[in-house]
């Protein structure tokens, strides 16, 4: 593979390990600085303790990344790992793998789960995980060829400028050239684009050949700047090849049990999804309408939860105008929820590539939300924004939230056209199209935007303070109210202020406010299934643990969280969807030969969760101070936001005041509302910390770590530094 189109700088021969019970017990190690390539065998108990996926990434980073490691240090490690349950076409949603590393946005551990064929093929080529260290002096590509039994580092090929700058274009060309000019589903690649060289929120694309559409498709490890790390290492792409059969590729201990669990889950999805969100028809864009209806849509930097214009970007518009219909859209074989919608031959009407016709994967709900965050409601713009971000290799969420933040800075007078070089206002499509290539190339104001919200607010504070002779601290404290980031990561696309549980879901999430740790907004605000503080706090312990398990095992969560099994109604806690979870546990046991129950799985996850917490502590993001959310995440910060739903807020306030009367003036009611909301958030933090075995400062107690055998020398020293 690749020898005929790339200069091989280093290559080794190896014997691919056979997958047994979901594992190969091998990690592929590549040091790009020294060009060392090695295969590490894992001790038998490693998988018992760290499961796979996120667990492997956490353990490697905990043990090997130094305290001073930053995203671009040679000792930062870029880990890609599936899990024991990845790669089983007989069970839905098994194409996921995890990319874990130290983030350029949060300066602590980030992971992002991503679909496609890369994780399964890496496993078939003999590896549970790939760990890349070092920094290469020149741009390179890693080639893992299970068929030829070689692993190599090659000089990255140089094509034309347009192809070289694009994450999609470069990856498509790489995959074709590596296989004699033809696409094949025995190959998959990950790539990062030009944007990842210049912005902190560069993504990693997972590219695979879709036989039905006869083209390369893309899913993204989108959050936290994993692509930025990849390019900082001088790594342009990784290709993996294996022609081994994907069917029964895990060599499950009990194949019949795997088939039964898979067929039962597929039946639940086939029957229930069409009657519920119907993701198989609409994709995740279906959420926009719900979010707008319940005031959760992040309009104008989360100022408003809905807009009269929102319906212009609801799912029906994309289905009618763009999505190719009647094509099963699973991002890996065997998924009948098939939410990965896409469109072909769409003409770009704006930006540097106007006039080109392109294939687009998406949009997903998050991209639609990000566009509404910039006050834009044009469906064709959504498609274009989706494609440009993908091609440049930028996270659609962080890009939209950061631009939305700067738009609000202009709206509130903290920034002017003079600071930026042009007008930047909500709803301005042309200016966003101008900004995207600037972010990707690190030019003009794009260089500032590419730093993300946390660093962007400091830049604004500096400018404003210098111009007005005020203190930077004072400006920052005002900006902090609407700068939608926690721990350095931009919020994902849900207005959390009417859901206390989701406020916790964002603030307490270890990686920062990405909903994949605790997406509680539906069960809290829409279904009202966790009304009490006690229930919300319990949910903030239980759901992140289950979600951690999905990220450790190589599974997509949507079949569990987005399709409620009808039998769940007969359980005491329907929101947990336990009858569906039971299929997953059967699948795990049948694959690995274990005999675990739900409690075992929760314990396994808690060990990983605590390990991540320790890493956060090590990098300065592990205490209560790092769990605080901007005021906008918990209430209407400015009077205009309060006024837009005054009656609703007054009612909420009255409920919380009990027999006390409401203040007479609207300004006083607004002020009191924010005080009460802040109080509730702090009470929630207290209760969640208690349930998790943490101190009131959010630090794990020694006995909590001891329970999970995590109290090693490093952990002990770390806790001592925090006087625990």
164 HSE (CA, 13 A, CB side): 9
Q: Provide the 8-state DSSP code for 304.
A: B
Select 339 or 429, whichever has its Cβ closest to ligand SF4: 339
Select 35 or 278, whichever has its Cβ closest to ligand SF4: 278
**Which residues in 239-258 contact ligand SF4 (CB under 6 A)?**
none
What is the nearest approach in angstroms of ligand SF4 to the Cβ of residue 364?
Answer: 9
Write out the two tokens for 82.
């599936």
Q: Provide the 8-state DSSP code for 569.
A: G
Q: What number of chain residues touch ligand SF4 (CB under 6 A)?
A: 13
3-class secondary structure per residue, 110-145? EEEEECCCHHHHHHHCCCCEEEEECCCCCCEEEEEE
What is the nearest approach in angstroms of ligand SF4 to the Cβ of residue 115?
Answer: 4
Binding part of the chain for ligand SF4, among 25-33, 334-342, 435-443, 469-477 by CB under 6 A, reads 334-342
Binding part of the chain for ligand SF4, among 190-198, 338-346, 370-378, 483-491 by CB under 6 A, reads 338-346
Q: Provide the 8-state DSSP code for 480.
A: T
Alpha helices, DSSP H only, in 273-416?
Answer: 279-282, 287-293, 299-302, 315-321, 365-373, 379-392, 396-411
**Which residues in 83-142 contact ligand SF4 (CB under 6 A)?**
93, 95, 115
Binding-site string for ligand SF4 from residue 562 to residue 601, where x marks contact by CB under 6 A and - marks none: ----------------------------------------
Kindly report the length of the chain: 724
Select 464 or 543, whichever has its Cβ closest to ligand SF4: 543
Contact 406, 456 (CB under 8 A): yes
Q: How far apart are alpha carbons 567 and 580 in whole angstroms?
A: 9
Select 167 or 335, whichever has its Cβ closest to ligand SF4: 335
Of the residues 339, 368, 493, 563, which one makes contact with ligand SF4 according to CB under 6 A: 339
What is the nearest approach in angstroms of ligand SF4 to the Cβ of residue 648?
Answer: 34
Residue with tokens 């599974």: 555
Contact 314, 285 (CB under 8 A): yes
Q: How far apart are alpha carbons 386 and 359 in whole angstroms?
A: 11
Binding part of the chain for ligand SF4, among 140-148, 309-317, 337-345, 382-390 by CB under 6 A, reads 337-345
Select 331 or 435, whichever has its Cβ closest to ligand SF4: 331
Q: How many CB atoms lie within 10 A of CB 176?
A: 17
Contact 37, 214 (CB under 8 A): no
- Indicate whether 389 belongs to the interface with ligand SF4 (CB under 6 A): no
Select 93 or 507, whichever has its Cβ closest to ligand SF4: 93
Q: How far apart are alpha carbons 367 and 76 in whole angstroms?
A: 29
Question: Which string of b and e fits 567-595 if b means at least 16 CB within 10 Å?
Answer: ebeeeeebbbbbbbbbbbbbbbbbbbebe
Q: Is the N-terminal amide bond of 587 cis, ω within 30° of 0? A: no
Select 178 or 226, whichever has its Cβ closest to ligand SF4: 226
What is the nearest approach in angstroms of ligand SF4 to the Cβ of residue 116?
Answer: 8
Q: How far apart are alpha carbons 655 and 473 in whole angstroms?
A: 35
What is the nearest approach in angstroms of ligand SF4 to the Cβ of residue 285?
Answer: 12
Q: How far apart are alpha carbons 644 and 639 in whole angstroms?
A: 9
Write out the two tokens for 15.
């014997």
Contact 563, 337 (CB under 8 A): yes
What is the nearest approach in angstroms of ligand SF4 to the Cβ of residue 500?
Answer: 28
What is the nearest approach in angstroms of ligand SF4 to the Cβ of residue 286?
Answer: 12
Residue 224: name the closest of 386, 110, 77, 72 by CA: 110
Binding part of the chain for ligand SF4, among 63-71, 315-323, 335-343, 507-515 by CB under 6 A, reads 335-343
Give the containing element (helix H, strand E) for 157.
none
Q: How far apart are alpha carbons 95 and 120 in whole angstroms?
A: 6
- Indicate whether 187 belongs to the interface with ligand SF4 (CB under 6 A): no
Select 217 or 457, whichever has its Cβ closest to ligand SF4: 217
Q: How far apart are alpha carbons 332 and 116 in whole angstroms?
A: 6
Binding part of the chain for ligand SF4, among 78-86, 325-333, 496-504, 685-693 by CB under 6 A, reads 325-333
Of the residues 556, 561, 653, 673, which one makes contact with ligand SF4 according to CB under 6 A: 556
Of the residues 331, 486, 611, 631, which one makes contact with ligand SF4 according to CB under 6 A: 331
Of the residues 299, 340, 461, 719, which one makes contact with ligand SF4 according to CB under 6 A: 340
Select 86 or 437, whichever has its Cβ closest to ligand SF4: 86
Of the residues 330, 363, 512, 544, which one makes contact with ligand SF4 according to CB under 6 A: 330
Binding part of the chain for ligand SF4, among 14-22, 328-336, 400-408, 516-524 by CB under 6 A, reads 328-336
Select 315 or 558, whichever has its Cβ closest to ligand SF4: 558
Select 95 or 512, whichever has its Cβ closest to ligand SF4: 95
**Which residues in 137-176 contact ligand SF4 (CB under 6 A)?**
none
Of the residues 154, 174, 436, 558, which one makes contact with ligand SF4 according to CB under 6 A: 558
Select 336 or 714, whichever has its Cβ closest to ligand SF4: 336
Contact 128, 234 (CB under 8 A): no
List 342's β-bridge partners, or say none. 361
Q: How many CB atoms lie within 10 A of CB 522?
A: 21
What is the nearest approach in angstroms of ligand SF4 to the Cβ of residue 327?
Answer: 12
Binding part of the chain for ligand SF4, among 56-64, 331-339, 447-455, 683-691 by CB under 6 A, reads 331-339
Contact 250, 308 (CB under 8 A): no
Question: Which string of b and e fits 339-364 if b means at least 16 CB within 10 Å?
Answer: bbbbbeebebebbebeeeebbbbbbb
Contact 37, 153 (CB under 8 A): yes
Dihedral angle computed from the Cα positions of residues 351, 356, 360 and 364, in that order, rounded to the nearest 10 degrees: 20
Select 262 or 507, whichever has its Cβ closest to ligand SF4: 262
What is the nearest approach in angstroms of ligand SF4 to the Cβ of residue 367?
Answer: 14
Select 340 or 382, whichever has its Cβ closest to ligand SF4: 340
What is the nearest approach in angstroms of ligand SF4 to the Cβ of residue 125?
Answer: 21
Select 265 or 556, whichever has its Cβ closest to ligand SF4: 556
3-class secondary structure per residue, 186-236? CEEEEECCCHHHHCCCECEEEEEEECCCCEEEEEEECCCCHHHHHHHCCEE
Of the residues 132, 238, 335, 633, which one makes contact with ligand SF4 according to CB under 6 A: 335
Binding part of the chain for ligand SF4, among 124-132, 242-250, 327-335, 395-403 by CB under 6 A, reads 327-335
Contact 119, 554 (CB under 8 A): yes
Give the containing element (helix H, strand E) for 40.
strand 36-41
Binding part of the chain for ligand SF4, among 152-160, 333-341, 605-613, 701-709 by CB under 6 A, reads 333-341
Of the residues 203, 204, 337, 409, which one makes contact with ligand SF4 according to CB under 6 A: 337
Select 117 or 586, whichever has its Cβ closest to ligand SF4: 117
**Which residues in 414-433 contact ligand SF4 (CB under 6 A)?**
none
Residue with tokens 């014997």: 15
Residue 562: name the closest of 608, 527, 514, 609 by CA: 527
Binding part of the chain for ligand SF4, among 64-72, 134-142, 326-334, 476-484 by CB under 6 A, reads 326-334
What is the nearest approach in angstroms of ligand SF4 to the Cβ of residue 219?
Answer: 7
Q: How many CB atoms lie within 10 A of CB 235?
A: 27
Diameter of the chain measured on Cα atoms: 80
- Indicate whether 338 belongs to the interface with ligand SF4 (CB under 6 A): yes
- Contact set with ligand SF4 (CB under 6 A): 93, 95, 115, 330-332, 335, 337-340, 556, 558
């Amino acid at each position: 593979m690749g020898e005929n189109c790339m200069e091989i700088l280093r290559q080794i021969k190896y014997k691919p390990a056979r997958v047994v019970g979901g594992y190969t017990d091998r990690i592929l190690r590549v040091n790009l600085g020294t060009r060392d390539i090695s295969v590490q065998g894992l001790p038998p108990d490693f998988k018992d303790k760290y499961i796979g996926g996120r667990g492997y990434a956490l353990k490697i980073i905990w043990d090997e990344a130094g305290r001073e490691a930053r995203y671009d240090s040679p000792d930062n490690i870029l880990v890609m790992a599936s899990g024991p349950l990845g790669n089983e076409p007989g069970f839905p949603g098994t194409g996921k793998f995890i990319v874990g590393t130290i983030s350029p946005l949060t300066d602590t551990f980030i992971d992002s789960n991503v679909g496609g064929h890369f994780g399964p093929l890496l496993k078939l080529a003999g590896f549970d995980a790939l760990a890349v260290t070092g920094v290469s002096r020149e741009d390179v590509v890693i080639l893992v060829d299970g068929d030829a039994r070689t692993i190599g580092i090659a000089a990255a090929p140089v094509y034309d400028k347009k192809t070289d700058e694009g994450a999609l274009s470069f990856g498509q060309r790489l995959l074709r050239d590596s296989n004699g000019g033809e696409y094949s589903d025995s190959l998959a690649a990950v790539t990062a684009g030009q944007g990842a060289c210049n912005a902190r929120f560069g993504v990693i694309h997972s590219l695979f050949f879709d036989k039905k559409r006869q083209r390369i498709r893309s899913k993204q490890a989108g959050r936290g700047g994993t692509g930025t790390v990849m390019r900082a290492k001088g790594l342009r792409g990784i290709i993996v090849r294996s022609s081994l059969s994907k069917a029964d590729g895990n060599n499950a201990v009990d194949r019949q049990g795997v088939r039964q669990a898979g067929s039962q889950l597929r039946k639940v999805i086939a029957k229930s999804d069409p009657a519920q969100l119907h993701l198989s028809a609409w994709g995740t864009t279906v959420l926009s309408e719900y979010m707008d209806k319940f005031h959760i849509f992040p309009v104008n930097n989360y100022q408003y939860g809905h807009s009269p214009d929102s319906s212009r970007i609801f799912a029906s518009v994309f289905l009618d105008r763009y999505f190719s219909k009647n094509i099963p859209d699973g991002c890996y074989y065997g998924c009948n929820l098939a939410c990965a919608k896409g469109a072909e031959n769409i003409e770009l009407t704006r930006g540097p590539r106007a006039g080109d016709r392109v294939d687009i994967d998406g949009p997903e709900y998050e991209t639609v939300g990000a566009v509404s965050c910039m006050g834009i409601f044009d469906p064709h713009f959504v498609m274009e924004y989706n494609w440009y971000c993908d091609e440049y290799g930028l996270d659609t969420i962080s890009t939209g939230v950061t631009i939305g933040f700067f738009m609000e800075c202009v709206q509130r007078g903290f920034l002017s056209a003079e600071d930026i070089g042009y007008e930047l206002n909500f709803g301005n499509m042309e200016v966003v199209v101008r900004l995207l290539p600037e972010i990707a190339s690190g030019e003009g104001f794009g260089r500032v935007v590419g730093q993300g919200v946390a660093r962007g607010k400091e830049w604004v504070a500096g400018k404003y303070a210098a111009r007005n002779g005020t203190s930077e601290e004072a400006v920052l404290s005002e900006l902090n109210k609407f700068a939608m980031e926690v721990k350095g990561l931009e919020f994902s696309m849900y207005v959390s202020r009417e859901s206390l549980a989701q406020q916790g879901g964002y603030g307490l999430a270890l990686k920062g406010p990405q909903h994949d740790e605790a997406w509680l907004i539906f069960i809290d605000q829409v279904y009202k299934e966790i009304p009490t503080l006690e229930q919300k706090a319990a949910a903030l312990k239980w759901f992140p643990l289950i979600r951690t398990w999905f990220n450790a095992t190589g599974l997509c969560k949507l079949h569990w969280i987005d399709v409620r099994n009808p039998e769940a109604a007969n359980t005491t806690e329907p929101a947990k969807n336990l009858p569906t979870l039971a299929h997953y546990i059967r699948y795990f046991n049948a694959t690995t030969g274990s005999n675990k129950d739900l409690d075992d799985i929760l314990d396994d996850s808690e060990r990983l969760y605590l390990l991540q917490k320790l890493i956060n502590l090590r990098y300065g993001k592990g205490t209560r101070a790092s769990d605080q959310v901007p005021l906008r995440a918990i209430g209407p910060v400015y009077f205009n936001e309060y006024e837009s739903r005054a009656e609703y807020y007054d009612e909420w306030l009255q409920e919380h005041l009990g027999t006390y009367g409401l203040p007479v003036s609207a300004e006083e009611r607004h002020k009191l509302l924010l005080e009460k909301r802040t109080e509730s958030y702090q009470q929630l933090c207290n209760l969640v910390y208690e349930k998790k075995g943490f101190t009131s400062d959010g630090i794990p107690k020694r006995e909590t770590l001891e329970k999970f055998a995590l109290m090693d020398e490093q952990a002990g020293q770390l806790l001592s530094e925090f006087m625990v």
